[in-house]
Chain A
């Protein structure tokens, strides 16, 4: 009796354990199923490399090049903000902050990582965009620059907190050895601790990047939404995520437009998948390097 129950529980848990695999597979299947018709209709090459996005005209044009370019530009811009600032903050917390400072700042930054994206979008729309518009004298504050800035600030706590974790995994002996050899703290930090934590830090950067690429509400509200390859960093753009969010509710079920939006989702999914694989490899290398096992 007891034995039967044990076996039942074991199988039950096994089934539950596959849930995330099933959901991931479900997402892939749904995305593929809903997006293939548009590839069949437009052709994958034209879909990816045509720069005109006119989904509801007669005849419609589905070219997502400008949307992809927009996502890339905004993500790179955001990285320019969140990598130096996030990494700098992590190094500060690791090396300079006193134990009390650390005990307060670390959780505070972790809590701030939880500010919802809609709040960033709202803040960017009502405060940052008008401010930058006046400050820089640009035609409109709703542009790639503003979106990058807000997104960068948003990803900073994530990058900081993960990078700090990576730094704290570096064995104390590394640092002590370097200091004993006469290097000062800055040299130790930049030439011993940081390289030792290198792949851990790159995990932080890639995760920050993946957050920036997939972010929706902020760019929807702040980026401006012009489906065109921008001539400058201060032009309005329309990233992939914003396009899905803005048009999904309006696309007629089963129309080419509907399938095209799922195809954009598929491409987004593939991008983050690549990021994930990179992170996976980097973190494995990190653990092996520091002798932390698998």
Chain B
């Protein structure tokens, strides 16, 4: 009697186990499918663009100005314009973001002020890029009178990159061991000397990673520069920060929407997309690898 019952329970258990095993296999299968789906799509984007983009990329494409109504020549002004905008944005956002992070970590009292600043950083990070564009247009282009220019575009992009740089710097600064600071302070260094000579140098790799990731994001943005910096066609390289520039992301959009030679322009747009992808993905890959290295190191 007892033995029979145990057998029944065992059989039930085995049934149940078979069921849960099946469930697990199915579940894991689904998870595997989803990552495959994800990688497949992202891979196919890169594949399509790389395949068709490579066909048009040549030395001339990278170094020449556009010719014959955008159908010949290269896209050098757009590449240069993107670099100008990105460097400008980072040059604006880095000192500001670093200072803000230092304040939050080192000087800031644990008070409502710090909380408000933290909240505003988080909210700024979530603002849609097109709203930054609107702000840049209304404020920098019109109110400040900078016009459609590198300056307006770089400032707009800089504000966009600010939250990322602040939080990366903050993380890096917080990761500096407390003992370093205490040692420095114990030796009689002032707070600023400690920050300058101890905190920032040891947090530098982390800060740089954040900055590089920020560069990658900024370089690919289109919406914020749509009304603040970008132009359809200009020959020369910008000679002042008040010049309008061509920029790679906007150039892709322009090639797809303006002009009279759709076939050729689509080819060039593939080329531009590939350059932009290499630029952006290359930069962020560099940053991420850098971060992993330093993580393993510590």
A and B touch in the complex (CB under 8 A): yes
Interface string of B180-200 (1 = CB under 8 A from A): 000000000011100000000
Contacting residue for B256 out of A14, A221, A275, A280, CB 8 A: A221
**A216 on the B face (CB < 8 A):** yes
Question: Which residues of the partner chain A approach B280 to less than 8 Å between Cβ atoms?
Answer: 114-116
In the complex, are the beta carbons of A16 and B100 less than 8 A apart?
A: yes
In the complex, are the beta carbons of B34 and A84 less than 8 A apart?
A: yes
**A86 on the B face (CB < 8 A):** yes
The closest CB in chain A to the CB of B217 belongs to: A114
Contacting residue for B190 out of A6, A24, A268, CB 8 A: A6
State the CA gap A207–B123 with chains docked (Å): 11
State the CA gap A272–B37 with chains docked (Å): 28
In the complex, are the beta carbons of B127 and A272 less than 8 A apart?
A: yes
Asked, given contacts A241-B128, A272-B126, whether A217 binds B222 with beta carbons under 8 Å apart, the answer is yes
In the complex, are the beta carbons of B20 and A187 less than 8 A apart?
A: yes
How many B residues have CB within 8 A of the partner chain? 86
Question: Which residues of the partner chain A approach B124 to less than 8 Å between Cβ atoms?
Answer: 20, 23-24
State the CA gap A117–B223 with chains docked (Å): 9
In the complex, are the beta carbons of A20 and B20 less than 8 A apart?
A: no
Question: Which residues of the partner chain A approach B154 to less than 8 Å between Cβ atoms?
Answer: none
The closest CB in chain A to the CB of B48 belongs to: A127
Interface string of A67-96 (1 = CB under 8 A from B): 000000000000000001111110111011
In the complex, are the beta carbons of A91 and B31 less than 8 A apart?
A: yes
Question: How big is the A interface, by class?
Answer: 35 or more
Interface of B (DSSP majority class): helix
Question: Which residues of the partner chain B approach A190 to less than 8 Å between Cβ atoms?
Answer: 27
The closest CB in chain A to the CB of B221 belongs to: A116
**B84 on the A face (CB < 8 A):** no
State the CA gap A261–B138 with chains docked (Å): 12
In the complex, are the beta carbons of B266 and A126 less than 8 A apart?
A: yes
**A125 on the B face (CB < 8 A):** yes
The closest CB in chain A to the CB of B142 belongs to: A253
The closest CB in chain A to the CB of B45 belongs to: A123
Stretch of A26-34, A43-51, A53-61 lying at the B interface? A26-34
Contacting residue for A111 out of B24, B130, B221, B288, CB 8 A: B288
Asked, given contacts A84-B34, A117-B222, A122-B273, whether A20 binds B103 with beta carbons under 8 Å apart, the answer is no
**B163 on the A face (CB < 8 A):** yes
Question: Which residues of the partner chain B approach A9 to less than 8 Å between Cβ atoms?
Answer: 192
In the complex, are the beta carbons of B128 and A272 less than 8 A apart?
A: yes
**A172 on the B face (CB < 8 A):** no
In the complex, are the beta carbons of B135 and A214 less than 8 A apart?
A: no
In the complex, are the beta carbons of A261 and B128 less than 8 A apart?
A: no
Question: Which residues of the partner chain A approach B242 to less than 8 Å between Cβ atoms?
Answer: none
Question: Which residues of the partner chain A approach B213 to less than 8 Å between Cβ atoms?
Answer: 114
In the complex, are the beta carbons of A6 and B191 less than 8 A apart?
A: yes
A13-B106, A115-B46 given; 8 more Cβ-contact pairs under 8 Å: A6-B192, A12-B99, A17-B107, A116-B280, A117-B221, A122-B269, A185-B24, A253-B142
Across chains A and B, which 9 residue pairs bring their CB atoms closest together, nearest first? Answer: A214-B128, A116-B220, A88-B34, A16-B99, A186-B24, A17-B103, A92-B31, A13-B103, A89-B35
A-B contact pairs, 16 of them (CB 8 A): A13-B102, A17-B107, A23-B159, A30-B134, A88-B30, A89-B31, A107-B288, A107-B289, A116-B276, A122-B273, A123-B48, A153-B42, A189-B27, A244-B134, A265-B131, A273-B123
